Protein backbone atom coordinates (compact mmCIF):
# COMPACT_ATOMS: atom_id res chain seq x y z
CA UNK A 1 0.00 0.00 0.00
CA UNK A 2 1.26 3.49 -0.85
CA UNK A 3 0.49 6.48 1.37
CA UNK A 4 -1.05 5.65 4.74
CA UNK A 5 -4.00 7.98 5.16
CA UNK A 6 -4.38 7.52 8.91
CA UNK A 7 -0.76 7.41 10.06
CA UNK A 8 -0.58 8.60 13.67
CA UNK A 9 -4.34 8.84 14.12
CA UNK A 10 -6.24 7.35 17.07
CA UNK A 11 -9.87 6.33 17.36
CA UNK A 12 -12.71 4.12 18.57
CA UNK A 13 -14.67 1.71 16.37
CA UNK A 14 -18.11 0.63 17.59
CA UNK A 15 -19.93 -2.40 16.25
CA UNK A 16 -17.46 -4.91 14.79
CA UNK A 17 -19.48 -8.10 15.34
CA UNK A 18 -18.03 -10.53 12.80
CA UNK A 19 -16.22 -10.63 9.45
CA UNK A 20 -19.37 -9.49 7.62
CA UNK A 21 -19.59 -6.27 9.64
CA UNK A 22 -18.71 -3.01 7.93
CA UNK A 23 -17.06 -1.94 11.21
CA UNK A 24 -14.86 -5.07 11.07
CA UNK A 25 -13.64 -4.11 7.61
CA UNK A 26 -13.13 -0.49 8.67
CA UNK A 27 -10.90 -1.75 11.49
CA UNK A 28 -8.84 -3.86 9.07
CA UNK A 29 -8.37 -0.98 6.64
CA UNK A 30 -7.70 1.56 9.40
CA UNK A 31 -4.94 -0.73 10.64
CA UNK A 32 -3.49 -0.97 7.13
CA UNK A 33 -3.52 2.83 6.93
CA UNK A 34 -1.53 3.22 10.14
CA UNK A 35 -4.24 4.04 12.70
CA UNK A 36 -4.36 2.87 16.31
CA UNK A 37 -7.79 2.25 17.79
CA UNK A 38 -9.96 0.67 20.44
CA UNK A 39 -12.63 -1.85 19.42
CA UNK A 40 -15.86 -1.83 21.37
CA UNK A 41 -19.29 -3.43 21.44
CA UNK A 42 -21.94 -4.29 23.99
CA UNK A 43 -20.94 -7.17 26.29
CA UNK A 44 -23.67 -9.42 24.85
CA UNK A 45 -22.47 -8.72 21.30
CA UNK A 46 -18.89 -9.49 22.30
CA UNK A 47 -19.99 -12.94 23.44
CA UNK A 48 -21.72 -13.53 20.09
CA UNK A 49 -18.93 -12.27 17.87
CA UNK A 50 -15.26 -12.96 17.27
CA UNK A 51 -13.91 -9.51 18.05
CA UNK A 52 -10.86 -10.82 19.90
CA UNK A 53 -9.65 -12.31 16.63
CA UNK A 54 -9.94 -8.88 14.99
CA UNK A 55 -8.12 -7.27 17.90
CA UNK A 56 -5.27 -9.71 17.44
CA UNK A 57 -5.14 -9.06 13.69
CA UNK A 58 -5.00 -5.30 14.13
CA UNK A 59 -2.96 -4.99 17.33
CA UNK A 60 -5.95 -3.42 19.09
CA UNK A 61 -7.56 -3.68 22.48
CA UNK A 62 -11.23 -4.47 23.16
CA UNK A 63 -13.14 -2.45 25.76
CA UNK A 64 -16.75 -3.60 26.32
CA UNK A 65 -19.31 -0.80 26.44
CA UNK A 66 -23.06 -0.55 26.14
CA UNK A 67 -23.46 2.50 23.88
CA UNK A 68 -26.73 3.41 25.62
CA UNK A 69 -25.07 3.53 29.06
CA UNK A 70 -23.38 6.82 29.96
CA UNK A 71 -21.11 5.29 32.61
CA UNK A 72 -19.87 2.67 30.13
CA UNK A 73 -19.20 5.36 27.53
CA UNK A 74 -17.32 7.59 29.96
CA UNK A 75 -15.14 4.66 30.98
CA UNK A 76 -14.59 3.76 27.32
CA UNK A 77 -13.43 7.22 26.25
CA UNK A 78 -11.21 7.71 29.29
CA UNK A 79 -9.56 4.31 28.81
CA UNK A 80 -9.20 4.86 25.06
CA UNK A 81 -7.27 8.11 25.60
CA UNK A 82 -5.11 6.47 28.22
CA UNK A 83 -4.33 3.34 26.21
CA UNK A 84 -3.86 5.14 22.88
CA UNK A 85 -1.76 7.93 24.38
CA UNK A 86 -3.84 10.98 23.62
CA UNK A 87 -7.03 12.47 22.27
CA UNK A 88 -8.96 10.82 19.46
CA UNK A 89 -9.07 11.62 15.76
CA UNK A 90 -11.97 9.42 14.69
CA UNK A 91 -15.02 7.54 15.95
CA UNK A 92 -17.21 5.11 14.00
CA UNK A 93 -20.76 4.40 15.17
CA UNK A 94 -21.87 1.21 13.43
CA UNK A 95 -24.77 0.17 15.66
CA UNK A 96 -28.37 -0.70 14.83
CA UNK A 97 -31.05 -3.01 16.18
CA UNK A 98 -34.83 -3.31 16.02
CA UNK A 99 -36.59 -5.84 18.23
CA UNK A 100 -39.77 -5.28 16.19
CA UNK A 101 -37.93 -6.34 13.04
CA UNK A 102 -36.34 -9.33 14.76
CA UNK A 103 -39.65 -10.55 16.11
CA UNK A 104 -41.64 -9.85 12.93
CA UNK A 105 -43.85 -7.19 14.50
CA UNK A 106 -45.56 -5.21 11.71
CA UNK A 107 -45.07 -1.42 11.53
CA UNK A 108 -48.80 -0.87 12.03
CA UNK A 109 -48.71 -2.91 15.25
CA UNK A 110 -45.46 -1.89 16.93
CA UNK A 111 -44.54 -2.88 20.43
CA UNK A 112 -43.61 0.55 21.80
CA UNK A 113 -41.31 -0.76 24.51
CA UNK A 114 -39.34 -2.55 21.79
CA UNK A 115 -39.45 0.55 19.62
CA UNK A 116 -38.01 2.71 22.41
CA UNK A 117 -35.19 0.23 23.01
CA UNK A 118 -34.34 0.04 19.31
CA UNK A 119 -34.43 3.84 19.01
CA UNK A 120 -32.07 4.17 21.97
CA UNK A 121 -29.61 1.62 20.57
CA UNK A 122 -29.77 2.66 16.91
CA UNK A 123 -30.02 6.46 17.15
CA UNK A 124 -29.90 8.04 20.61
CA UNK A 125 -26.68 6.13 21.31
CA UNK A 126 -25.00 8.28 18.63
CA UNK A 127 -25.88 11.39 20.64
CA UNK A 128 -24.70 9.70 23.84
CA UNK A 129 -21.38 8.79 22.23
CA UNK A 130 -20.83 12.36 21.01
CA UNK A 131 -22.03 13.96 24.25
CA UNK A 132 -19.57 11.83 26.21
CA UNK A 133 -16.69 12.78 23.90
CA UNK A 134 -17.81 16.44 24.08
CA UNK A 135 -17.90 16.62 27.87
CA UNK A 136 -14.55 14.83 28.22
CA UNK A 137 -13.04 16.94 25.41
CA UNK A 138 -11.82 13.70 23.84
CA UNK A 139 -11.52 14.76 20.18
CA UNK A 140 -8.58 16.41 18.47
CA UNK A 141 -9.23 19.35 16.16
CA UNK A 142 -10.20 18.30 12.63
CA UNK A 143 -11.30 14.89 13.91
CA UNK A 144 -14.04 12.88 12.21
CA UNK A 145 -17.12 11.21 13.68
CA UNK A 146 -19.08 8.87 11.40
CA UNK A 147 -22.26 6.80 11.64
CA UNK A 148 -23.72 4.29 9.19
CA UNK A 149 -27.26 4.77 7.94
CA UNK A 150 -29.61 3.67 5.15
CA UNK A 151 -31.84 5.39 2.58
CA UNK A 152 -35.01 4.15 4.31
CA UNK A 153 -34.56 7.34 6.33
CA UNK A 154 -35.73 9.26 3.23
CA UNK A 155 -37.84 6.78 1.27
CA UNK A 156 -40.28 4.07 2.26
CA UNK A 157 -39.12 0.46 2.35
CA UNK A 158 -42.06 -1.23 4.13
CA UNK A 159 -40.17 -4.15 5.65
CA UNK A 160 -37.46 -1.90 7.11
CA UNK A 161 -40.06 -1.12 9.76
CA UNK A 162 -39.18 1.16 12.67
CA UNK A 163 -35.48 1.03 11.75
CA UNK A 164 -36.36 3.65 9.10
CA UNK A 165 -37.48 6.03 11.85
CA UNK A 166 -34.34 5.26 13.85
CA UNK A 167 -32.12 6.10 10.88
CA UNK A 168 -33.98 9.37 10.27
CA UNK A 169 -33.30 10.38 13.87
CA UNK A 170 -29.66 9.27 13.60
CA UNK A 171 -29.11 11.51 10.57
CA UNK A 172 -30.74 14.47 12.32
CA UNK A 173 -28.42 14.02 15.31
CA UNK A 174 -25.41 14.12 12.96
CA UNK A 175 -26.53 17.48 11.57
CA UNK A 176 -27.49 18.99 14.93
CA UNK A 177 -24.41 17.90 16.88
CA UNK A 178 -22.20 18.37 13.83
CA UNK A 179 -22.78 22.12 13.98
CA UNK A 180 -21.58 22.35 17.58
CA UNK A 181 -18.56 20.12 16.98
CA UNK A 182 -17.54 22.19 13.98
CA UNK A 183 -17.75 25.51 15.80
CA UNK A 184 -15.85 24.33 18.87
CA UNK A 185 -13.24 21.88 17.61
CA UNK A 186 -13.39 21.80 13.78
CA UNK A 187 -14.54 18.19 14.20
CA UNK A 188 -16.78 17.00 11.37
CA UNK A 189 -19.77 14.71 11.80
CA UNK A 190 -21.29 12.77 8.89
CA UNK A 191 -23.38 9.73 8.06
CA UNK A 192 -22.83 7.28 5.19
CA UNK A 193 -25.98 5.91 3.57
CA UNK A 194 -24.77 2.53 2.34
CA UNK A 195 -26.23 0.11 -0.20
CA UNK A 196 -28.10 -2.87 1.28
CA UNK A 197 -25.25 -5.01 2.53
CA UNK A 198 -25.17 -8.64 3.61
CA UNK A 199 -24.24 -7.99 7.24
CA UNK A 200 -25.68 -9.84 10.22
CA UNK A 201 -27.97 -6.87 10.97
CA UNK A 202 -29.05 -6.23 7.38
CA UNK A 203 -29.86 -9.84 6.64
CA UNK A 204 -32.48 -9.83 9.41
CA UNK A 205 -34.84 -7.67 7.34
CA UNK A 206 -37.69 -9.58 5.66
CA UNK A 207 -37.16 -10.10 1.90
CA UNK A 208 -33.56 -8.92 2.13
CA UNK A 209 -32.15 -11.21 -0.57
CA UNK A 210 -34.72 -10.06 -3.10
CA UNK A 211 -34.14 -6.45 -2.27
CA UNK A 212 -30.36 -6.64 -2.51
CA UNK A 213 -30.75 -8.02 -6.04
CA UNK A 214 -33.25 -5.31 -6.94
CA UNK A 215 -30.93 -2.55 -5.64
CA UNK A 216 -28.06 -4.01 -7.65
CA UNK A 217 -30.16 -3.89 -10.84
CA UNK A 218 -31.25 -0.32 -10.08
CA UNK A 219 -27.75 1.03 -9.41
CA UNK A 220 -25.63 2.09 -12.43
CA UNK A 221 -22.47 1.04 -10.59
CA UNK A 222 -24.06 -1.87 -8.74
CA UNK A 223 -24.31 -2.21 -4.96
CA UNK A 224 -21.42 -0.96 -2.85
CA UNK A 225 -19.82 -3.77 -0.86
CA UNK A 226 -18.89 -3.69 2.81
CA UNK A 227 -15.20 -3.45 1.83
CA UNK A 228 -15.94 -0.49 -0.42
CA UNK A 229 -17.91 1.20 2.34
CA UNK A 230 -14.97 0.72 4.67
CA UNK A 231 -12.75 2.47 2.13
CA UNK A 232 -15.15 5.41 2.06
CA UNK A 233 -15.11 5.60 5.86
CA UNK A 234 -11.29 5.67 5.80
CA UNK A 235 -11.37 8.59 3.37
CA UNK A 236 -13.77 10.40 5.73
CA UNK A 237 -11.40 9.78 8.66
CA UNK A 238 -8.47 11.16 6.68
CA UNK A 239 -7.31 14.77 6.28
CA UNK A 240 -8.47 14.70 2.64
CA UNK A 241 -12.08 15.41 3.70
CA UNK A 242 -11.56 18.12 6.31
CA UNK A 243 -14.32 20.42 5.04
CA UNK A 244 -17.08 17.79 4.76
CA UNK A 245 -19.46 17.92 7.67
CA UNK A 246 -23.16 17.58 8.61
CA UNK A 247 -23.71 15.57 5.43
CA UNK A 248 -25.58 12.36 4.69
CA UNK A 249 -23.31 10.81 2.07
CA UNK A 250 -24.85 8.28 -0.31
CA UNK A 251 -22.61 5.30 -1.03
CA UNK A 252 -24.95 3.16 -3.08
CA UNK A 253 -23.73 2.90 -6.67
CA UNK A 254 -26.14 5.65 -7.73
CA UNK A 255 -29.31 3.95 -6.45
CA UNK A 256 -30.52 7.05 -4.57
CA UNK A 257 -30.72 9.11 -7.78
CA UNK A 258 -32.27 6.53 -10.12
CA UNK A 259 -36.02 6.47 -10.80
CA UNK A 260 -35.90 3.26 -12.83
CA UNK A 261 -33.19 1.32 -14.66
CA UNK A 262 -33.17 -0.51 -17.98
CA UNK A 263 -32.44 -3.76 -16.15
CA UNK A 264 -35.50 -3.42 -13.93
CA UNK A 265 -37.72 -2.30 -16.84
CA UNK A 266 -36.55 -5.27 -18.92
CA UNK A 267 -37.61 -7.62 -16.16
CA UNK A 268 -41.11 -6.10 -16.01
CA UNK A 269 -41.39 -6.17 -19.82
CA UNK A 270 -40.38 -9.85 -19.83
CA UNK A 271 -43.03 -10.60 -17.18
CA UNK A 272 -45.70 -8.84 -19.27
CA UNK A 273 -44.82 -10.78 -22.41
CA UNK A 274 -45.05 -14.15 -20.70
Note the helical H segments in 92-198: 99-102, 112-119, 125-136, 163-185
Residue 250, classed as helix, strand or coil, is: strand
Cβ atoms of 77 and 138 within 8 Å: the answer is yes
**The pLDDT of residue 271:** 67
pTM of the model: 0.94
Cβ atoms of 90 and 9 within 8 Å: the answer is yes
Give pLDDT tens digits for 204-246: 566 677 889 999 999 999 999 999 999 999 999 999 999 999 9
Instruction: Confirm whether 169 is a catalytic residue.
Output: no
pLDDT confidence tier of residue 203, bands split at 50, 70 and 90: low
12 is in an annotated binding site: no
192 is in an annotated binding site: no
15 is in an annotated binding site: yes
Exactly one of 150, 214, 232, 250 is catalytic; which is it? Answer: 150
96 is in an annotated binding site: no
Cβ atoms of 53 and 24 within 8 Å: the answer is no
pLDDT confidence tier of residue 1, bands split at 50, 70 and 90: very low
User: What's the fold here for domain 10-273?
Assistant: Rossmann fold (3.40.50)
Q: Count CB atoms within 10 A of the CB of residue 86.
A: 13
The mean of the pLDDT values for the chain is 94
Could you give the C-alpha distances from 91 to 94, 161, 168, 268, in angstroms and in order? 10, 27, 20, 43
**The pLDDT of residue 19:** 93
**Residue 128, by phi and psi: left (phi above 0), alpha (psi -120 to 50) or beta?**
alpha
Note the helical H segments in the chain: 22-32, 43-48, 51-58, 70-84, 99-102, 112-119, 125-136, 163-185, 208-218, 226-237, 262-273
Exactly one of 160, 214, 232, 250 is catalytic; which is it? Answer: 160
For the chain, give the percent of residues with pLDDT over 90. Answer: 86
**The pLDDT of residue 274:** 57
Q: Where are the domains of the chain?
A: 10-273
**Residue 119, by phi and psi: left (phi above 0), alpha (psi -120 to 50) or beta?**
alpha
Q: What is the CA radius of gyration of the chain?
A: 19
Amino acid sequence: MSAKLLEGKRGIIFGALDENSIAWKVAQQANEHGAKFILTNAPVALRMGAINKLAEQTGSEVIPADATNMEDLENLFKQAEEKLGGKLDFVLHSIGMSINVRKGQHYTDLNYDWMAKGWDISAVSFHKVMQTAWKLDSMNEWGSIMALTYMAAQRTFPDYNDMADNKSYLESIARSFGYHWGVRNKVRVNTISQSPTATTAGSGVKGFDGFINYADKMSPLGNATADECAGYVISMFSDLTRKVTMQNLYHDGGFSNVGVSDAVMAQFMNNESE
